Amino acid sequence: MNIDIKNEYLQASDIIRDFFESAKRRLNRPIYLLIDEYDHFANELLSFNLELFKKSITSQGFVRNFYEEIKKGTQTIVERIFMTGVSPIMLDSLTSGFNITMNISLDKEFNGMLGFMKKEVKEILEYYEIYSEDLLKEMEENYNGYRFNPDAKTTIYNPDMVFYFIIKYRKENKSPEKIIDDNIISDYKKVQNLFKLGELIGIKITEDTKERKKESERIIIGNLLNEILLKERTPITELTTMFTPERRIEIKDIKSLLYYLGFLTMEKEGIITYLKIPNYSMKKIYSDYFTEYIEENLTEYIDPEEIETGIREMIINGKIDLFARGIEKILQKLDNRIYMGFDEKYIKLLMYSYLVLSPYLTVKMEYPVEKGYIDIAIFRRYNDVPYESIIEVKYIKQNEFSEEKLKRKIKESREQIERYKKSYELNYKKIKKYIVIFVGKEVKYIEEME
């Protein structure tokens, strides 16, 4: 059905009102209204223009007026409304003028509505005649894991990523080097702006508040990234279901946004609900952001290509020295204010985050085997990658160093690797075994074990 666009239309609300009136006259029957990505423009505005966002959703703003007209339409011709979006970023702002909807995003019965179950992915692979257990396992690790209600029993796959993988696999007859579609990566990059707490909170930035704001962001972002990457999950009492820029944003709100945007998913343990990293592709996204965050907070510029060269040296020639020295250089240039209580786990996190970015590897931190937990385990994604490896990382505080303590750490590391070698998970693999010991921010000892 066509409607004439009049010159006197001033706002979107004028157009939708006239459309409803025209539809009622011509159709004389109810209509269903579907609104897709209702929050898209709001997410964009939050990224670069908070004031325009606020103006748009106020009582006199065009957004509120538009939805008020839709509400009026339900009294005449609109029978049902179905809205989709990424986050509930505007729900609080719309409530007074559009209080006729129900948020069903977290309802258990809709958990599998917008994703694929494992059996469905298997059927798709069989349809394209590329099914294998190994391929299904790889897709499960990279794209499965999403749960939209803490009590839901099944997890679902990201459908966009499933089709991206299949298209690439059929073209190249192998798993794609990039496990994440470039278009998706560009969308996720926008989320980094949501970490800029000053803009979200609405602080008026002046010269005397810039440094304070930057320091606050550094601490909050660093702590949250550490918690998520190190523990791979974070507890949350309840998700924020409506956001407004008038209210000070809390850590819970940032966690909730990460959930809505697909960075985290739900997991329940007893009575406690956690938000966790859903899969390996999201770990790569976090690691990418984490390494950028680290590099932005170095006291002087370091070319990340040195680290990448070190990784290639390790997986092609089986030598870890260059990679370890690259990590050492970053540690020595790292702003001391970023980490309080610096210890071994931060070094492992830094090494892991750079290794994860390699398209040729699958990297595990605290990898469970029969005889314990390997600090970092590095497995190849392609058969033509020459070397796989495990790394045992140890740390001694600078003011606690002694030759005797170093010898104890070396002995402890050797004993651990000897145990790991006997594990079922590793005893059939020809794998490199490294020990790397840091004293403060210096690499003090490197060993490759037979």
Residue where the block lists tokens 């898209």 = 40
pLDDT of residue 294: 84
Q: How confident is the model at residue 200 (pLDDT cuts 50, 70, 90)?
A: very low
Backbone angles phi, psi at 435, to 5 degrees: -120, 130
Q: How confident is the model at residue 86 (pLDDT cuts 50, 70, 90)?
A: confident
For residue 313, which of 326, 332, 329 has the smallest C-alpha distance?
A: 326
pLDDT by residue (tens digit) across 121-180? 999 999 999 999 999 999 999 999 999 999 999 999 999 999 999 999 999 999 999 999
Exposed/middle/buried for residue 63 (C-beta within 10 Å: 0-12, 13-18, 19+):
buried
Q: Is residue 247 scored above 70 in pLDDT?
A: no
Backbone angles phi, psi at 93, to 5 degrees: -70, -25
Q: Is residue 311 scored above 60 in pLDDT?
A: yes
From residue 440, give the alpha-carbon distance in Å to each of 7, 271, 375, 404, 412. Answer: 70, 40, 18, 16, 19
pLDDT by residue (tens digit) across 365-391? 999 998 899 999 999 999 999 999 999
pLDDT of residue 48: 65
CA distance linking residue 111 with residue 113, whole number of Å: 6
pLDDT of residue 147: 95
Classify 268 as helix, strand or coil: strand
Residues 56 and 2 sit within 8 Å (Cβ to Cβ): no
Q: Is residue 211 scored above 70 in pLDDT?
A: no
Backbone angles phi, psi at 380, to 5 degrees: -80, 145
pLDDT of residue 225: 75
pLDDT of residue 95: 60
Please say whether the dihedral angle defined by the alpha carbons of residues 126, 130, 133 and 137, taken in this order, is positive or negative: negative
| Structural tokens at position 233 | 């999950």
Q: Is residue 198 scored above 60 in pLDDT?
A: no
CA distance linking residue 254 with residue 243, whole number of Å: 10
Residues 392 and 374 sit within 8 Å (Cβ to Cβ): yes
Q: Is residue 328 scored above 60 in pLDDT?
A: yes
pLDDT of residue 47: 60
From residue 446, give the alpha-carbon distance in Å to each of 257, 332, 354, 363, 450. Answer: 41, 18, 19, 20, 13
Q: Is residue 273 scored above 80 in pLDDT?
A: yes
* pLDDT average, residue stretch 192-220: 50
* pLDDT average, residue stretch 59-79: 86
Residues 406 and 394 sit within 8 Å (Cβ to Cβ): no
Q: State the chain's mean pLDDT as an integer.
A: 85
CA distance linking residue 279 with residue 281, whole number of Å: 6
Helix (DSSP H) and strand (DSSP E) numbers for the chain: 17, 10
